[in-house]
Each structure stands twice: as structure tokens, then as C-alpha cells.
Amino acid sequence: MKTNELIRFVLCYLIVFTLSARLQAQPVEKMVKVAIAPDHADWVYKTGEPTKFKVTVTKNSELLKNVKISYEVGPEMLSPVLKESTVLTDGNLVISGGTLKEPGFLRCKVVAEFDGLKYEGLATAAFNPELIKPTVEYPADFVQYWEKAKQELATVPMDVKLTLLPDRCTEKSNVYQANIQNYKPGMRLYGIVSIPKKPGKYPALLRVPGAGVRPYNGDAATADLGMITFEIGIHGISVTMDPSVYLDLGKTTLDGYPFFNLDDKDKYYYKRVYLGCVRAIDFLYSLPEFDGSNLAVTGGSQGGALTIVSAGLDSRVKYIAAFYPALCDLTGYLNNRAGGWPHMFRDQKVVKEKIETTKYYDVVNFAKNVKVPGFYSWGFNDVTCPPTSTFSAYNSISAPKELFIMQETGHWTYPEQNEKSKQWLLGKLMGK
């Protein structure tokens, strides 16, 4: 790889890391660790059952003595019902957390102070999560609305433009930037498609993105295994530009895009995004290398939302793998419980038109129309896509489904979660 190409690659990597840090950052190791664990090994309780949270504060793996802490307990994302502070003489404490009378999640947060710095820990107990029901209403014309939108999309030519990216190609796969017309003339969809070089017919994997504005590298490594991969952006801009462009757009033109035109369901920003996922599937089906049947979608956070939306919108999707989906049960806050990212009704003034719009874009309502097998994974400590919201969507799915819970994770994944998802997808698409 030439020097300038190497520099560009490094810059792209750094920009992806920076822009996704808010939503998908791995936890940073710290000198002092605040560990919290509910007294049930699986962190799951029945409604009305009391909880206890065991707290330990350690430094160099030894209990830290005489450390000052403050703690609070309450329903996730809502005001705490218990707030206290104390000094741990031996680094241990058991907190009586109370209970919940309705299915949901009860969160304990502890902040320890040591040597002028603060260290935080979380633990979240689940109460009959399988019984959580969504608060969002299902519009009577939901299916008709999106069928009409797809029909309008079908009248717009794809106008595909492929640009080979030689520096990203591998011995086994060619890599291109795809530039495709979206649901309105002149509106574009960009992504990186990786196609095996060996002649043949291959399954396809559509990768849908988390929130933010960033470039994309594609997934040539998976293509090398014998699969077409297509990683898309959602903003109608090239995904191979200089990293500084995405930083500027994220701070200016595209800042706050999840709220753009929220008071009008026909102009809301995510209409282009959801239909863009359908257009991406159109494109994959147009490829002569595609086997014409085996197609899966995967993503996390906003990408988890788009994964479920794609399956709810398009019957050509055969399998999905979604991590901590966003945009689930957005009206939760209007019903005194946690709602999904981007938490649009948590602090903002409630407007009737905005509530009406969200009914047509809430992942819960797409989940009700999912008909294909799915793999799902998240943790109980997620403060970006709260588990109350993700279970609202998961419990609305009647299709075959597999849930892999890693209780202590927040808005990030362990390698084991990624590996399980990978193996599940390979098994479905390639029989491996």
C-alpha cells in the first residue's frame, strides 16, 4: 500500500472510531473499578420480587477501603426513587433496591470518589422482560402507507454507478463504491459492495449503519468467504470522502438528523433511510453474482433498527441479526417508562404531529410484520437503547427468534456476541 493510501486508511479508521464512540464505544479500563451485581445470577426477577445489589469497589483487584460513594436506584432512564451516599469501610455494600410492580428494568448506579476522580458502575435488574408490551400505537394504514411508498420507489430507476476501489480489493474479492438512485430522482444511496471474483452465485449480506456521519470500508473479509456484502450509508453522500468532510457534516448540516421534519410523516428524514434499505436490496437482487434467494441484513443500534425495518418492509430478506436496536417504542417516555433512542420525547416539548409521525417509523410496528428467523443480542445496562425499548420490539416479533443476552453490557458488544452472530449468519446463508 502506498504511503498516501496508508495515511488515508488510518484517517478513515480514526474518523469511524471518533464518530461512533458515543453510541458504540467499548468500555475503557480504569484503575478503580465499581462492580455491581444483582443477587439473581441471570439478573432477572418476577414483578414484586425484592432486589439486592452487591457493590464492590476495587483498585488493583483489591477491595478499596474507606472510599466515598453515592448511589441511586430507580426505573431505567427515569428519576431515581432512592438516592444515598456513604463511605465503604471495607469496599463492600449491599443495596436493597426494592422492586417493580410492572414488567420493566430497575437500575442501580454507583459513583465512587477516589483521589479526586469519579468512577461509575451500573447494574440493571429485569422484571419479567418477556412480558413487556409496547406503548406505541399501530396505525390502521401502516402496511398500506409503506406499500404505497415502495410502489413509488419502484418507479424510480436505480441508475447504478460502480467505482472500483483497487486499494480495497483482495485476492478473492473486488470492492466497489456503489452510487444508486434512491426513492426520488436525484436522491442517492451510497455504499461499499464487495463481490467474490470467482465466477458463481453467492448469498448476500446487507450491513446497515449505526447512527452518525462517517465513511465506510465495506466487508471484503466476509466476501472472501464466499458471500456478497454491501455496507451502506444513509445520508445520500459518498462514503469514500476525506474524513474531515464527515466531521463537518456531523456538526453542521446533518446535526440532529433523527429529528428532521418529525412533524410530517411524508417528509421525515427516516423515510429516505427506510426506503434506501429497500433500494439496497433492489441493487443486490440486480447483481448477476447473487444467488437470487439467500439474503440477510445485520446492524447495531440505528443499524439494529434498520435491520428489523428491512425485514418488516421487504419479504426478500430471509434472515436478520440485530444488536440493541434503536428507534423502538419511542413513546415510552409518554407512558412513564424508558423510550428508545433518540429519546425524542424525553426532554422535548411533545407535539401531536410528531407523535403521529413516530407511529409510522417506530421499529416496534415493523417488528410486528417480521416473518423471518432472527438473531438478536443486547445487554441490560444500555443507556442509549434501553432494554425496555428493545424488548418492546423483540416481544412483538412472532417469527422464529433467538435472543443472546449479555447482561452487563451497555451500548457495546463482547467478542462472543459478534462471533455468535457471525456463525449464525454463516450457518443460515452458507450452511457453515
Are 408 and 306 found together in one domain?
yes
How far is the C-alpha of 250 from the C-alpha of 199, rounded, in Å? 40
End of a domain among 73, 96, 131? 131
User: What grid cell was written down for 93?
Assistant: 455494600
Residue range 159-173, pLDDT digits in tens = 999 999 999 999 999
DSSP state of 168: G
**pLDDT, average across residues 97-113:** 98
Within-domain flag for 9: no
pLDDT band at 16 (very low <50, low <70, confident <90, very high): very low
Whether 296 has a pLDDT exceeding 50, the answer reads yes
End of a domain among 98, 131, 164? 131
Place of cell 418492509: 313
Enumerate residues 6+ apart whose C-beta is below 8 A from 391.
129, 130, 132
Question: How many other CB atoms are there within 10 angstroms of residue 120's CB atom?
Answer: 11
Within-domain flag for 207: yes
Are 79 and 196 found together in one domain?
no
Q: Could you please report the per-residue DSSP string of 307-356?
A: HHHHHHH-TT--EEEEES-SS-SGGGGGGTS---TT-TTTSSPP-HHHHH
pLDDT value of position 7: 44
pLDDT value of position 431: 85
- Alpha-carbon distances of 98 from 49, 80, 81, 82, 383, rounded to whole Å: 8, 12, 9, 9, 21
Residue range 317-362, pLDDT digits in tens = 999 999 999 999 999 999 999 999 999 999 867 889 999 999 999 9
**pLDDT, average across residues 99-125:** 97
Are 265 and 234 found together in one domain?
yes
pLDDT value of position 3: 46
What is the average pLDDT value for the chain, to the nearest integer? 93
Are 176 and 68 found together in one domain?
no
Provide the residue range defining the domain that includes 119: 32-131
Place of cell 417480521: 370
How far is the C-alpha of 266 from the C-alpha of 273, rounded, in Å? 12
Within-domain flag for 17: no
Give the active site residues: 301, 382, 411
Residue type, 200: G
pLDDT value of position 138: 98
Whether 5 has a pLDDT exceeding 50, the answer reads no
How far is the C-alpha of 192 from the C-alpha of 178, rounded, in Å? 6
- Contact of 235 with 323, CB cutoff 8 Å: no
Whichever domain contains 123, its CATH number is 2.60.40.1930
pLDDT value of position 348: 66
pLDDT band at 22 (very low <50, low <70, confident <90, very high): very low
Within-domain flag for 208: yes
pLDDT band at 418 (very low <50, low <70, confident <90, very high): very high
Whether 23 has a pLDDT exceeding 50, the answer reads no
Within-domain flag for 19: no
Number of structural domains found in the chain: 2
Within-domain flag for 328: yes
Whether 19 has a pLDDT exceeding 80, the answer reads no
Higher-pLDDT residue of 65, 21: 65
Enumerate residues 6+ apart whose C-beta is below 8 A from 287.
193, 195, 204, 228
Are 332 and 360 found together in one domain?
yes
pLDDT value of position 27: 73
Whichever domain contains 288, its CATH number is 3.40.50.1820
Residue range 123-151, pLDDT digits in tens = 999 999 999 999 999 999 999 999 999 99
pLDDT band at 21 (very low <50, low <70, confident <90, very high): very low
Are 116 and 187 found together in one domain?
no
**pLDDT, average across residues 392-399:** 98
End of a domain among 131, 163, 190? 131
Share of the chain above pLDDT 90, in %: 91
DSSP state of 381: T
- Angle among Cα 239, 178, 268 to the nearest 5 degrees reads 65
Within-domain flag for 21: no
Whether 375 has a pLDDT exceeding 50, the answer reads yes
Share of the chain above pLDDT 70, in %: 94
Residue range 302-313, pLDDT digits in tens = 999 999 999 999
Within-domain flag for 24: no
Higher-pLDDT residue of 330, 22: 330
User: What grid cell was written down for 168?
Assistant: 480495497
Exposure of 170 by Cβ count < 10 A (0-12 exposed, 13-18 middle, 19+ buried)?
middle
Residue range 178-194, pLDDT digits in tens = 999 999 999 999 999 99
How far is the C-alpha of 206 from the C-alpha of 390, rounded, in Å? 21
